[in-house]
Amino acid sequence: MENVIEVENLTHRYGKRVIYEDLNFTVPKEGIFGLLGKNGVGKTTLIKILMGFLRPVSGRCRVLGEDSHNLSPAARIRIGLLFEGHLAYEFMSIAQIERFYSSYYPAWDRDLYYGLVDRLDLPHHHLIKNMSCGQRSQVVLGLIFAQRPELMILDDYSMGLDAGYRRLFLEYLREYIKDGTKTVFVTSHIVQDLEKLVNEVIFLDRGGEIMQTSLDRFMSGFKQFSFKKADSKEMPQKDDIIRNVDNTGSVVSVYSFQSRETVESHLKKQGFDMATLDQVPMTLEDSFIGLTGKY
């Protein structure tokens, strides 16, 4: 299958701080891919590198088959990019920004833009600098949809959006990918939104450790088990079987990709009482926190 994004042996550092070391992944054409990771793991940095706004220390990134640091105008026409913080030309009005962008994109859909933006109930001469963060996001997302790009890269699209508009946006996004030719690469702080949206997830950890899997495989394979701990202060340790450990009061939660039987026998060997062991159903957000930890 054709890849729209290819990252090979990517290494990047800020000073002495390593962001990624030898990062590799690909995003195939078609579908919605979620990039998940805690604050500071380098999600935005990765998008900056993919879009050619930052030169990595080493490695290679290709977007739509072109070197990401040298994307041609023809490739950029095919990429809709949402910058973190819903960056926009704030000196423009709703109508001016539409007029400006429409001249660059041959497949521009004016109705789609105004379909989203008119829900703000603002006059078209309203300046973007006088909008709230959420209103600005609606304008910026409207511009990206109107562009009708083949590849949409959305860096934290949910920032500043209220619940209603977030849902509306997701409906538009589903409609947008319905023809089966589009690809969306998305990061978001609202992990539960992605549960209903993405086909595949890429978990990015500090230092550039990565896990790429389909959402279904991850949700069915990654499990949470809880049990009541005896008085001893000892806790299970992370190892090849136990991916993460958390405890609230006397209840211990362990997270693992292994089966219940494997986890149970593993913890028994460590001397834990498994009489109260139970599997806990998880949402994507629970799984994300289980995988990466709360802090």
Which chain residues interact with another protein by CB under 8 A?
12, 14-15, 48, 51-57, 69, 73-74, 76-77, 79, 81, 83, 85, 87-92, 96, 99-100, 103-105
Q: Which is nearer to another protein, 90 or 278 (CB)?
A: 90
Q: Which is nearer to another protein, 50 or 197 (CB)?
A: 50
Q: Which is nearer to another protein, 99 or 124 (CB)?
A: 99
Cβ of residue 218: shortest distance to another protein, in angstroms?
Answer: 31
Q: Which is nearer to another protein, 73 or 281 (CB)?
A: 73
Cβ of residue 180: shortest distance to another protein, in angstroms?
Answer: 24
Cβ of residue 100: shortest distance to another protein, in angstroms?
Answer: 6
Extract the tokens encoding 125. Answer: 């001469």
Contacts of 127 (CB under 8 A, 6+ apart): 90, 91, 92, 93
Chain position carrying tokens 């202060």: 233
Angle at 193 between CA 188 and CA 198, to 5 degrees: 85
Cβ of residue 173: shortest distance to another protein, in angstroms?
Answer: 20
Cβ of residue 78: shortest distance to another protein, in angstroms?
Answer: 9
Cβ of residue 89: shortest distance to another protein, in angstroms?
Answer: 6
Q: Which is nearer to another protein, 105 or 257 (CB)?
A: 105
CA 202, CA 277: separation in Å to the nearest integer? 30
Q: Which is nearer to another protein, 62 or 69 (CB)?
A: 69
CA 45, CA 62: separation in Å to the nearest integer? 15
Q: Which is nearer to another protein, 99 or 217 (CB)?
A: 99
CA 33, CA 41: separation in Å to the nearest integer? 17
Cβ of residue 99: shortest distance to another protein, in angstroms?
Answer: 7
